[in-house]
Amino acid sequence: MSSPRNWRGMPQRYRLEAAKCKKCGKVLFPPRLVCPECHGREFEPTHIGNTGKVETFTVIRVAPSGFTDQAPYAVAIVNVGDGVRILCQVADVEPEELAIGMPVKLEFRKVQSDGESGVISYGYKAVPVF
């Protein structure tokens, strides 16, 4: 990931910043310019929750470049409340432990790195809560 692209996503990936539509109340993560629900264009800043439940998941066993060292790893859709579902990796879990409905929290992790000398991209990953 290029450094500018990495930088643009920091408010969402580092601090889970979202936008709440002033017209219909829908929470958008990441924020958008136009609300897909009511086409409203005014938002107030908010944050999504840092806990949630796994809605569905898959296990990646043949990983793309940059992720091969982590295989097998899980990618899940996590419901964090307020109607928001996010797609993220699940860390600190064995594939056979994963289950729909598993409670998770979002932790700050390395997501990818632009080779050995490029910028490191940080963000959130889900980890199980036991």
Partner 1 sequence: MGRGQIDRVGIVGYGAYIPRNRIKVEEIAKVWGADAPSYKKGLMLQEKSVPGPDQDTITMAVEAARYALKRAGVGGQKVGAVYVGSESHPYAVKPSGTTVAEAIGAVPDCHCADFEFACKAGSEGMFVAMGLVKSGEIEYGLGIGADTSQGAPGDALEYSASAGAAAFLFGDKQEQIIAECHFTHSYMTDTPDFWRREYQFYPRHASRFTGEPAYFKHSLGCSQALMKKAGMKPKDFAHVVFHQPNGKFPMNVGLMQGFTREQIVTGWLSPTLGNTYSGASPIGLTAILDVAKPGEWIMMVSYGSGAGSDGFVWKVTERINAVRDLAPRTRAQLDSNRKKYLDYGTYAKFRGKIKKLAH
Rounded to the nearest whole angstrom, what is the least distance from the CB of residue 60 to partner 1 in the complex?
Answer: 14
Neighbours of 29 (CB within 10 A): 19
66: helix, strand or coil: coil
Residue 53 or 73: the one with the smaller Cβ distance to partner 1 is 73
- Is there binding between residue 69 and partner 1 (CB under 8 A)? yes
Q: Point out which span in 19-27, 34-42, 51-59, 88-96 binds partner 1 (CB under 8 A).
A: 88-96
Task: Decide: 53 and 28 in contact? Cβ < 8 Å.
Answer: no
Among 2, 5, 8, 10, binds partner 1 (CB under 8 A): 10
Instruction: List the beta strands (DSSP E) in the chain.
Output: 17-21, 27-28, 43-47, 51-60, 73-81, 84-90, 103-113, 120-128
Output the smallest distance, CB 130 to partner 1, in A.
Answer: 6
Judged by CB under 8 A, the number of residues near partner 1 is 21
E strand or H helix at 15: helix 10-15
Per CB under 8 A, does 65 bind partner 1? yes
Q: Which stretch binds partner 1 (CB under 8 A): 34-42, 54-62, 74-82, 118-126?
A: 118-126
